[in-house]
Amino acid sequence: MIAVGAINRNASRANFSNYGNGLDVVAPGVSISATDRLGALGYNQNVGAAGDYTTIDGTSFAAPQVAGIAA
């Protein structure tokens, strides 16, 4: 098991992330660019290509980078 925390672009702990000696590693988890669902189901309500992307926060978005560290 690897305990993961999230940091922001300034390398500060994300306000929603755990912290302390129990964490093994931290990775970016704030304002992560991602593709978005179309229309009313998406987060970004802009029309056309401008609505295809959004930014999302969460420790889950740090997980792919941690997988790379583990590999």
Between 14 and 51, whose confidence is greater? 14
pLDDT at 15: 92
> What CA–CA distance (Å, rounded) separates 33 from 12?
18
Q: b or e along 20-50 (b: 16 or more beta carbons within 10 Å of the residue's beta carbon)?
A: eeeeeebbebbebeeebeeeeeeebeeeeee
pLDDT of 48 over the 80 cut:
no
pLDDT recorded at residue 62: 83
Q: Where are the domains of the chain?
A: 4-70
The predicted-structure confidence for 16-37, as pLDDT tens digits, reads as follows: 998 889 999 999 999 998 888 7
At residue 21, the pLDDT reads: 92
This prediction's pTM? 0.72
